[in-house]
Amino acid sequence: MLDLRRLRTFREVIGRSSFSAAAQALDYTQSSVSQQITTLERDLGVTLVDRTSRPVKPTAAGAAVLAHADGLLAQADAVERELDALTKGESGTLRMGGFFTAWATFLPAAVAAFSRAHPGVALELHQLEPAPALRGVRAGELDIAVVYGFDPPDDELVQRTHLLDDPYAVALPSRHRLAGRRRVALADLAGERWVSPPADHDYTQVLRRLCREYGDFEPDVAYETGDIAMAQPIVAAGLAVALLPALGLVPTHAGVTVIRLPSTPPARSVWTVRPRGRRAPVAAAMDDALAHAARRPGLTPGA
């Protein structure tokens, strides 16, 4: 195997036709330069320098090695420059996933801040629910993801950063009989028609549990939708009420009134997740940008 440092020294010796001149240019001692050339010759099994001539010249084997030296050293320099740029967050690609309401609220601000600070980094952005986003991080297909849940991701393959808590609030049609109140209880909404995802969705399970625990009733889910963006328009039309996370209520549609509940139901929390143990400076920089964006005001309507 070629030692690039010794190869660089060999090229300097031949280029300057002198061991002493090469030593001075490289800031080495002459004995160090001579030892490097001897070691390179031993590694390759050939004599590279004709030491009997003045000035020194390459042997036939030395000329053959020299013909490739510039290309090899240029490639090595390019690798070092690219790695240095990656380490400093000046280049490369960052692959990020996040769920819909995060993209609809604070993620764009984080991406904008990151891009201003790291204009040379290409971004691959994906809208993903927590389960596939976590799988992507574990598999190395994503460098960072924004996920939510009631419990923090407990996985030895990922590291997490808490961004915010995303409490639930009631979304009512603005002409609803309860819309003028500052607070309502879930029990006040017994008999209402609800908009919610399908029955097997985690959100709907939470809705049913909260209505039973805090209101002693089963919600009448009259409108099922897998797209949270459809909930507010249905509420605004006066067709149903909804229990939505705060991020799903930003911005609040015209015709919708947001009211907090007096007893606090479990809030879902939002985290970033990254592969554990992987040195990825650009992912850490995005983590910081997300944490800053998540602290901005306006993410908790109805307070």
The tens digit of pLDDT for each residue in 17-65 reads 999 999 998 999 999 999 999 999 998 899 999 988 888 899 999 899 8
> The domain containing residue 124 runs over which residues?
93-166+268-294
The answer to whether the beta carbons of residues 257 and 232 sit under 8 Å apart is: no
Cα–Cα separations (whole angstroms), residue 81 to 71, 77, 285: 15, 6, 20
Q: Are residues 234 and 105 in the same domain?
A: no
Using DSSP's 3-state secondary structure scheme, residue 135 falls into helix
Shortest CA distance to 288 belongs to which of 56, 111, 101? 111
DSSP at 182: S
CATH of the domain at 146: 3.40.190.10
Q: Are residues 226 and 272 in the same domain?
A: no
- Three-point CA angle 232, 238, 244, nearest 5°: 30
Q: Are residues 135 and 187 in the same domain?
A: no
Q: Which of 87, 117, 138 is the last residue of a domain?
A: 87
299 within a domain of the structure (yes/no): no
Q: Are residues 76 and 43 in the same domain?
A: yes
The mean pLDDT value of the chain amounts to: 88
Q: Are residues 186 and 234 in the same domain?
A: yes
234 within a domain of the structure (yes/no): yes
Q: Are residues 15 and 139 in the same domain?
A: no
303 within a domain of the structure (yes/no): no
Q: Are residues 162 and 272 in the same domain?
A: yes
The band of 82, judged by pLDDT with boundaries at 50, 70 and 90, is low
Q: Are residues 33 and 104 in the same domain?
A: no
Q: Are residues 160 and 218 in the same domain?
A: no
Q: Which of 87, 108, 127 is the last residue of a domain?
A: 87
124 within a domain of the structure (yes/no): yes
Using DSSP's 3-state secondary structure scheme, residue 231 falls into helix
Q: Are residues 281 and 151 in the same domain?
A: yes
pLDDT value at position 67?
A: 87
For the whole model, what pTM was predicted?
0.68
113 within a domain of the structure (yes/no): yes
Given a cut of 50, whether residue 303 has pLDDT beyond it is: no
Pairing of strands 220-224, 193-196: parallel
- For 224-234, what is each residue's pLDDT tens digit? 998 888 999 99
CATH of the domain at 81: 1.10.10.10
Number of domains in the chain: 3
Given a cut of 70, whether residue 84 has pLDDT beyond it is: no
Q: Which of 87, 107, 133 is the last residue of a domain?
A: 87
Q: Are residues 178 and 66 in the same domain?
A: no
Q: Are residues 113 and 238 in the same domain?
A: no
- For 205-230, what is each residue's pLDDT tens digit? 888 998 999 899 999 999 999 888 89
